[in-house]
Structure formats: structure tokens, C-alpha cells
């Protein structure tokens, strides 16, 4: 089908949910749900093509690159928008991320081509903040080894207890205190932790007082104080590889890390080495798709 004059060709790239799609009619972030915008887009005369095929030679996405106007993708099944794809996309106007974080797009190439890159700011920030809190508790209380014991029919309390702690009294630092970082700090306040944050921007004094977190201008000065570090900043050219072996070495021995940002903010080998040596006591990474509507 060809788009009629004036209408736009919009391509959405989402993961296939298969049998899970039918289990919840509000599960819209998958190929089957197509963000729930098909009816509306088509009623406006636009053409809407949805696929999960985004990689490899002759993938479905590449067939539409030459004439699409809008490309929608998510960080969970990202359509990598390389300079090469941008060059071929002669009609492209808008690259839309149905979520937060657009590091799957070559932003420099997009800017040079005059494209708009937009994302749905705030779309799943509560989900992420709640998830971070859960992961912090999982790490501090040494939950996972106990879970695996139960699955295997084992029972060794000491193997769990020797490193299971309370969150109360621990120092938690968030690297990045934007929308998600602030929501996390608010949720941590009742746990009576020492809360620190590092960001390019200091919060308004009123908000800082309400949240009860102390600003740390110098990241390298904050890290050695933290029992738990949560990473809440975007992956950019400035933050790529930010947590290398030197920075990890500055953290407390046994530090617990929750990385909500992209994996590439950390040097993988340095993380693996620090986990093996015990310098990092535990690390969990969040990859949280936009959740269904209630």
C-alpha cells in the first residue's frame, strides 16, 4: 500500500509479544499492540507499518528506510539508526523513542540531517524508581542466593545471613538526579538512609530539603562514601565508559550497584574484574519496558 499525498509513512519497530499479547489488551508496547495508535493514525490518513524485523540484511525495517517519514522505536528492542540508515532515509523527518533514552540513534548524524529526535519524557519514571528500590533491597538483603537455594531445595541460612543487611543507615548515592533519580530519592527517604546525589545541576534548596539528599558536585568525592550507587543518567558521549576501572576502584569495597542507565556507561571488563575480586559486592541492571496501562 502506498501512502496517499499529504499522509505520512510511519514505521514502528517493537518486539513481538506472541502469546503474551493476548493476555492483556492493554499491553501496547509490543508489535501486536503497536502502541495503540493504529486506528487513530489511519483515520488521519497516515500509513502505519509495524515490524519487529530491524537487524540483518534485508530486514523489514531496511525495506522501508528509503521512503518512511517517521520511525518509532523503543530502547528495549531498539532500531539502531546509524548514519548509514539516515543517509538512505530521504523522507525521514522524525525519530521517536517510545520511552526514555535515544542512544540507539546516531544523534550527530541525525542533527546534521536536520532530523527531530524526540522521546516520551517521564513515560515510565515511576516504574523505574520502584524497580530501583526493589533492586536495592534485593542486593542489600542478599535475596537472590536465598531464592536460588529454595528453588534447588537447599537450606543454608548462614550462606545468606553472612552478608544480608538493613538498608537503614546505609549511604545511597545516585549518579544523575533527574526525573528518575529524584523519584528514587523520595522513595528512599522513609528508609532512613544517608542520601547523596551527583548531577550537573543542583536541586532547588526547597526540593533538596524535602527530599533530604545532599548534593555532591564532585562524583569522585561522592563514590567512596556510598554503600550503594545507583546510576540514573543518560548514555551520551560524555558518560560512555564513565565507570572505568579507576572510578570503580574509588568505590567502597563491596559496593552494591544498580545501573538503570545503559550498560555502556560502565566498562564491562572493569565491572567483571571488580565482581570477581569482590570489590563490587553485587550489581543489577534495569531494562524496564513501558508497562501496560492498568
Ligand X SMILES: NC(=O)C1=CN([C@@H]2O[C@H](COP(=O)(O)OP(=O)(O)OC[C@H]3O[C@@H](n4cnc5c(N)ncnc54)[C@H](O)[C@@H]3O)[C@@H](O)[C@H]2O)C=CC1
Cβ closest to ligand X, residue 14 vs residue 48 = 14
DSSP conformation letters of the chain: -PPPTT--EEEEE----GGGGGG-TT--SSTTTGGG-HHHHHHTT-EEEEES--SSTT-HHHHHTTT-SEEEE-TTS---B-HHHHHH-TT--EEEESSS--TTB-HHHHHHTT-EEEE-TTTTHHHHHHHHHHHHHHHHTTHHHHHHHHHTT---HHHHHTT---STT-EEEEE--SHHHHHHHHHHGGG--EEEEE-SSPPPHHHHHHHTEEE-S-HHHHGGG-SEEEE-S---TTTTT-B-HHHHHHSPTTEEEEE-S-GGGB-HHHHHHHHHHTSEEEEEE---PPPPP-
Tell the smallest beta-carbon distance from residue 101 to ligand X (Å): 3
CA distance 255 to 225: 10
Interacting stretch for ligand X, rule CB under 6 A, among 3-11, 48-56, 172-180, 267-275?
A: 172-180
Q: Does 69 bind ligand X (CB under 6 A)?
A: no
Binding-site member from 53, 145, 212, 234 for ligand X (CB under 6 A)? 234
Q: Does 35 bind ligand X (CB under 6 A)?
A: no
Binding-site member from 125, 172, 223, 229 for ligand X (CB under 6 A)? 125
Binding-site member from 29, 178, 281, 282 for ligand X (CB under 6 A)? 178
Q: Does 202 bind ligand X (CB under 6 A)?
A: no
Cβ closest to ligand X, residue 27 vs residue 48 = 27
Q: Does 292 bind ligand X (CB under 6 A)?
A: no
- Number of residues engaging ligand X in binding (CB under 6 A): 26
Cβ closest to ligand X, residue 173 vs residue 178 = 178
Q: Are the CB atoms for 194 and 229 separated by under 8 Å?
A: no
Q: Does 181 bind ligand X (CB under 6 A)?
A: yes
Q: Does 148 bind ligand X (CB under 6 A)?
A: no
Q: Does 176 bind ligand X (CB under 6 A)?
A: yes
Tell the smallest beta-carbon distance from residue 212 to ligand X (Å): 18
Q: Which residue is at the shortest CB distance from ligand X?
A: 178
Cβ closest to ligand X, residue 11 vs residue 290 = 290
Binding site for ligand X (CB under 6 A): 100-101, 124-125, 128, 176-181, 199-201, 232-235, 238-239, 260-262, 286-288
Amino acid at each position: 500500500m502506498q501512502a496517499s499525498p499529504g499522509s505520512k509513512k510511519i514505521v514502528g519497530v517493537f518486539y513481538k509479544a506472541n502469546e503474551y499479547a493476548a493476555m492483556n489488551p492493554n499491553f501496547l508496547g509490543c508489535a501486536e499492540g503497536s502502541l495503540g495508535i493504529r486506528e487513530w493514525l489511519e483515520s488521519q490518513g497516515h500509513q502505519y507499518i509495524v515490524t519487529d524485523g530491524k537487524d540483518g540484511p534485508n530486514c523489514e525495517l531496511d525495506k522501508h528506510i528509503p521512503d518512511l517519514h517517521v520511525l518509532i522505536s523503543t530502547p528495549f528492542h531498539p532500531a539502531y539508526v546509524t548514519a548509514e540508515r539516515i543517509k538512505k532515509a530521504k523522507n525521514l523527518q522524525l525519530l521517536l523513542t517510545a520511552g526514555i533514552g535515544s542512544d540507539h540513534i546516531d544523534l550527530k548524524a541525525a542533527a546534521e540531517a536536520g532530523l527531530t529526535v524526540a522521546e516520551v519524557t517521564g513515560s515510565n519514571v515511576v516504574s523505574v524508581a520502584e524497580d530501583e528500590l526493589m533492586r536495592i533491597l534485593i542486593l542489600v538483603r542478599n535475596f537472590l542466593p536465598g531464592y536460588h537455594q529454595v528453588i534447588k531445595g537447599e537450606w543454608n541460612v548462614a550462606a545468606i545471613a553472612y552478608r544480608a543487611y538493613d538498608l537503614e543507615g546505609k549511604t545511597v548515592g545516585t549518579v544523575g538526579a533527574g526525573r528518575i533519580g529524584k523519584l528514587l530519592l523520595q522513595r528512599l527517604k522513609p528508609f532512613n538512609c544517608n542520601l547523596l546525589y551527583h548531577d550537573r545541576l543542583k536541586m532547588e534548596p526547597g526540593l533538596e530539603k524535602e527530599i533530604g539528599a545532599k548534593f555532591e558536585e564532585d562524583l569522585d568525592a561522592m563514590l567512596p562514601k556510598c554503600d550503594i550507587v545507583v546510576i540514573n543518567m543518560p548514555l551520551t558521549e560524555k558518560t560512555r565508559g564513565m565507570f572505568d576501572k579507576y572510578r570503580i576502584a574509588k568505590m567502597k569495597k563491596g559496593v552494591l550497584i544498580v545501573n538503570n542507565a545503559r550498560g555502556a556507561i560502565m566498562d564491562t571488563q572493569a565491572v567483571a574484574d571488580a565482581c570477581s575480586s569482590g570489590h563490587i559486592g553485587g550489581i543489577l541492571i534495569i531494562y524496564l519496558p513501558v508497562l501496560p496501562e492498568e
